[in-house]
Each structure stands twice: as C-alpha cells, then as structure tokens.
C-alpha cells in the first residue's frame, strides 16, 4: 500500500519501467508513484499488468498517474509504440528503468544458438532498444536518468549460469559507455545490481527448499534477503535529482553478500 505524492523526489516526472507487472519491477512502479512520478509500466504479461493497474487504482483512486502498455521489449516496434503511448499520456520519458529479464541456466555445449539469441534479446538487447527509443526524448530535454537492473552475477556467479553472467556483465558495460556518451546531454546512466530479492518466484522456491533458504541466509551479513522495495528505494534515488553527480556506476544492493570471501 502506497500513498501517491505530488511533492516527492520524482514529482511530475515521467518514468517508464520495463517488466513492471510483478517482482522487482512492481516494487519500482510502486516506489516511483509513491515519490510523485507519472509511470508507464511495460510488460509482456497483459493480464498481470492490467491486474496491477486495477489494484493500484483500488488503492489510490482512479486518478493514479499510471499507464500500462502491454509490450514485448525485445520487439523494437512494440518498444516505440509503448514509448509513444507513454509520451501521449505524460510527456517525454525522463526516467527509464530497464528491469525486464529472466534467468538462464545452460551448458555451453548443449545450448543452441536460438536459445542464446532468445535469452540475449531479453536480458541485454532489449535494454539498448529501450534506450534507443527514449534517448532522443532525453537529449531534446537536456536531462534524464536511466537505470539498468543488472545483478550480483555481473561480478560473481554460479556454475552453468554463464548466459546470465555474460548478459548482466554486458549491461554494466553498456551502462558505463552510455554514461560517457550521454553525459554531455545531461543524461545520467547507472546500473543497480540486486542480490537475493524476495519476488514471488524466490518465495515459492524457498517454500519448496527450506534448507536452501537457511544456507543462503547464513551467508548474508544482515541475515535477511531484500524485498522489492529495497531495490526500488535505490533505483528511485538514482532517478531523482538527489543523484545528480552519480553516473556510470553499478550500485550493489545485496545486503553485503558479495563482501564475503568464499574460501
């Protein structure tokens, strides 16, 4: 439950969030609304996105500044259509959060080229496609903030997780370069790298595997996992003017997990 603000750190700013129908993306949609943003939520899951919109309208009233655009972010025509719909509703997109993504466990010999391409279309290429569609609006405005949701797996990883580790590392590289290239237009570009975050999928997994949950908790210095709002709080800071001197950075939000030497 959030109260929509008209005076928060994102007041009046149009923020577009990909993969916003559930999980971390839903947390970011809620966090941006809480801080006064006008939000375009893009997700491939039409029923899920419409259900969240209805829920937010029930919580905040019909005037909540939220547009849901059913979008496959791997398809540039759908990306440009979603951005155009958002602009028609709320004006230029000045905050962009590239959050849509999924896991990929694979064997490097068994994985097919099609599986590789499908995965990288979502976990890496879609972020460039969104930036390609939104950067002209930000350049014209002379301001903007982009946040990519990467992962601790850009720095350390599991066995057989190489596509995910490669895509998330790629997102951090993309972030650095866009920060260099777009700074002269007043545009900041950062990554946020979450650790274990309690999305519905992770909660289900831990319900089935309580021993895995205890093992993971034991190596977290704070002894807890993140809630989606913990990631959203950092994302919303980076979207806001309070972060005006922060660009080209990758913000770890992992409860100290990667501070531990494994040996």
158 is catalytic: no
C-alpha dihedral over 11, 178, 251, 22, to 10 degrees?
60
Residues near ligand NAD (CB under 6 A) are: 18-19, 21-25, 43-45, 48, 71-74, 99-102, 122, 149, 151, 194, 196-197, 199, 201-202
Is 124 or 187 the residue whose CB approaches ligand NAD more closely? 124
Residue 192 structure tokens: 């946020």
The minimum distance between CB 17 and ligand NAD, in angstroms, equals: 10
Tell me which of 105, 158, 161, 164 is the catalytic residue: 164
Residue 263 structure tokens: 């040996």
Is 48 or 91 the residue whose CB approaches ligand NAD more closely? 48
The minimum distance between CB 144 and ligand NAD, in angstroms, equals: 21
Q: Is the distance from CB of 29 to CB of 55 less than 8 angstroms?
A: no
Is 36 or 97 the residue whose CB approaches ligand NAD more closely? 97
**Rounded CA separation 50/92 (Å):** 23
Is 45 or 59 the residue whose CB approaches ligand NAD more closely? 45
The minimum distance between CB 95 and ligand NAD, in angstroms, equals: 17
Closest CA to 89 of 32, 38, 43: 38
| β pairing state of 38-43 and 187-194 | unpaired
Q: Is the distance from CB of 80 to CB of 139 less than 8 angstroms?
A: no
Residue nearest to ligand NAD (CB): 23
E strands of 158-204, at which residues? 187-194
Q: Which residues are catalytic?
A: 164
């Amino acid at each position: 439950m959030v109260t929509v603000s008209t005076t928060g750190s994102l007041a009046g700013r149009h923020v577009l969030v990909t993969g916003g129908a559930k999980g971390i993306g839903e947390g970011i949609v809620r966090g941006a609304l809480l801080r006064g943003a006008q939000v375009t939520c893009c997700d491939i899951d039409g029923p899920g996105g419409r259900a969240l919109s209805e829920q937010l309208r029930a919580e905040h009233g019909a005037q909540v500044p939220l547009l849901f655009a059913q979008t496959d972010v791997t398809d540039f025509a759908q990306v440009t259509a979603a951005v155009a719909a958002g602009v028609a509703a709320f004006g230029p997109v000045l905050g962009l959060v590239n959050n849509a993504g999924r896991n990929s466990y694979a064997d490097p010999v068994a994985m097919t080229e099609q599986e590789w391409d499908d995965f990288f279309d979502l976990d890496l290429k879609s972020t460039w496609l969104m930036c390609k569609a939104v950067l002209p609006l930000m350049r014209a405005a002379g301001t903007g903030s982009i946040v990519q949701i990467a992962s601790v797996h850009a720095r350390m990883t599991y066995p057989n997780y190489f596509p995910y580790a490669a895509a998330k590392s790629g997102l951090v590289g993309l972030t650095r370069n866009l920060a260099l290239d777009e700074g002269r237009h007043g545009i900041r570009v950062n990554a946020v790298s979450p650790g274990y975050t309690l999305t519905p999928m992770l909660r289900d997994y831990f319900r089935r595997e309580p021993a895995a949950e205890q093992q993971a908790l034991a190596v977290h210095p704070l002894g807890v996992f993140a809630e989606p709002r913990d990631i959203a709080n950092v994302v919303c800071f980076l979207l806001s003017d309070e972060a005006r001197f922060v660009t080209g950075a990758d913000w770890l939000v992992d409860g100290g997990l990667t501070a531990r030497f494994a040996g």
